[in-house]
Structure 1
Amino acid sequence: MTSPPCPYAALYEPEFHADPQTVNERLRKEYGPVIPVELEPGVRGWSVIDYATLISWCRDTRTFSRDSRRWRDWREGRLADDSGTLGMMMHRPNVLFADGAEHQRLRRAVTDSLAATDPQALTEVARASANQLIDAFCERGEAELLEEYARLLPFLVINHLFGFEEENARRFAVAMRDLFDGIHAERANAELERVASAEITRKRRQPGKDVTTGLLEHRAELADEEILQHLVLIVGAGNEPTANLIANAMRILLTDRDLGDDVAGSRTSIEDAVDRVLWSDSPLTNYPVMYPTSDIPLANGQEIKEGEPVMLGYAAANRNVAQEYAESMGSAPNRAHLAFGVGPHRCPAQDTAIMIANTGLRTLLRRLPGLRLGVPPEELEWRVSIFARSLTRLPITFDPQPPSAEGTPWKQSHSSPETSTASPDASAPSGRSSLSNFLARLMRGR
């Protein structure tokens, strides 16, 4: 006798990540545009998976708050101290968790600081960094693209964006990578704080045209803790979705023969291919989170209680709309996806993320002829993360190529000996998202 279908989406179960769309569609038919979810055993919430509803609710700043101090389970002491959801959802003094005037103050500081950088110069940094990373493995004819490229490229570019010194940028990138993977997290977190504190101190003495200086000098007069939390937010959270986008896009290019051939034949641009991936495999799935300020009745007779977490199901909403357009018009819409949010909290760094992904993919395809998947597609696995859509690995093979001679190839030995540079192996935790592990440890001061 088979068990009845689960009455909610268990976001922490590997079975959900193997085929999330099937689960979402089953629950959509039963509950409508907002479905019940379980973030971890005993921790419940909701996910809004309808495109129009998601847009409407994200713009309704009176009914919904981003301040997670409203989270009912946390507020009433029902969460364990080691809950894996705390790292991503506990309140921090940065723009992601702010409402109203405080959100406007912090967002203005972030957007002004980002706007002070030269987009063309940053694109050149992305291209040079991509070549540097490729040079480290191009002669081998094979690589693990997620670990050796997709995760590292955003870090290198974003660290430059923040004006870090080269060696500090390397140390910061490796420390953040170790934190994401849960490898020697305490040591890596201490390294991150040392580097960030040193850079804040250095930028006070030697300001430059970079985001760190912009945050320090902004008229919003951010406290050092606010600056540090924004460094972690933009550098850390900015890397994870961008890395996932690069890897997800490359997976589709290598497994969807029609799209891959169209890109190779210049019938489809890299930019359009990336937009297609943002519709079909959004790197963020159920994040950020909103909290109702009062009870909300649903059309099916259920009710979302004040303070219950409402996850923003961008991936499900995007995919559903893309399928509807494909069926009615023959192709999915282009840039109206919600992969970077909507409303007042729309990601202020989306242009940078898109530029990094486009540059990274274009450089890969140019540099590595004969690029192909290193394992059968069915052997690829998805990480178990309630917030992200991410592969566990992406092996590739290609025709061996000489280095570009544009600079020193990226080598892990550049990092501080105090920080691990080991690749994930049996010692690394499996199952729960390494992003969640990292932020959970960070919130508990470990």
Structure 2
Amino acid sequence: MEKLTIALLGGGVVGSEVARALLTQSDTLAARVGARLELSGVLVRDASRPRDGIPQELLGTDPEAVVAGADIVVELMGGIEPARTRILTALSSGASVVTANKALLAQHFPELITAADDAGVRIEYEAAVAGAIPIVRPLSVSLAGDRIQRVMGIVNGTTNYILDQMSKEGWDFDTALATAQELGFAEADPTADIEGHDAAAKAAIIASLAFQVPVSLDDVHVEGITGVSADMIRTAADQGFTIKLLAICERVTGPDGGESVSARVYPALVQDDHPLASVSGAFNAVFVEADSAGSLMFYGQGAGGAPTSSAVLGDIVSVARRKVLGGRGQMPQQVRESGSILPIARVTTRYQLTLEVFDRPGVLLRVAEVVATEGVSIELVQQTRLEDAAADGTPRAKLVIATHSALESSLAATVDSLAALEVVESVKSVLRIEGA
């Protein structure tokens, strides 16, 4: 039987899982591929430190020595450099590449795809988006004959766990984050997750695949969940909504009437009867809307060593099969060199605003006048008397306002104008409504 050698760059949690699987499941993988898959080396920072289940002689610190002669290079280092250079070098040498590096793909997607195609080899990256959930192949292969209109999903397990615990247990943000760190769902430095950067990188990849337009991380509007409070969670529940950090990629009509692409990440309100509202814990889910296929949802474990290694191994089998069968070329869909990315200000959406106001005669009229001045239409208003009065004894009330769809720029101007009203004590929260 033919033999294919595999060089593994990175011996962390995922890398170790992949290495052990290659060593212990060799017969099963050979039957699926039609060739023996031989792990030839694992690039690590410290080769003297033992890795459970990985022979010491496979560990190395010299990237050139580890990669030399490999048929398949698996990059699990993370970061932009030196990962980018090592991938490009591997591709130019004729090796196919498997990577889970979402940050690199979000910044250099067209370059990497072109390099693979020029070399007649493959680069696979299913593990870069939503862990074990198969979403890259459905977007690029299964739905290649369809026209995808929108992809909306929960693509970060850490933030979903935090928001889910705040909703179910009534915890504040800090308590939910600390628990996520204790359980290993969140890193010691959770910035990339809670500020939305991890989800934004995945949104850039999803948008590039779904719409064949190069979308980089800089094109994605990003807001995190650090401003989500327990009171916002309760108010959302009272209105029949759940708050989720969503990555949203969609085709939109631009101001000139032409088609553009929008990619954005922010905490949003999802109606309780929407499939994404029921996604709990650290799970991920991606909701796809296409012209012919209709609505599809992909659900499963979005992070962790085992789920991510599952996706990596699937990619390894895919590129290995391609080598055995003599196939070449990269993507059924090619990403165009340019495309129109619509800025967030030109996106049409709906808002839910929560205001604390001084409960005086004419308050609702003043609020309605300001909203109408900015060209925004109110769909629903709910007023609740607050128990505690203002310092001067004036009664206070909470107003929850849902708007009809309007330009993001108009809605943002509405919020600024409302905050300046003398009858408004504070704007407690501003959330977009999605999936309704």
TM-score range, shorter chain: under 0.3
Q: Which has the higher strand share?
A: 2
- Compare CA radii of gyration and give the structure with the larger one: 2
Structure (1 or 2) with the greater helix fraction: 1
TM-score (norm 2): 0.24
Q: Which has the higher contact order (CA 8 A, sep 6+)?
A: 1
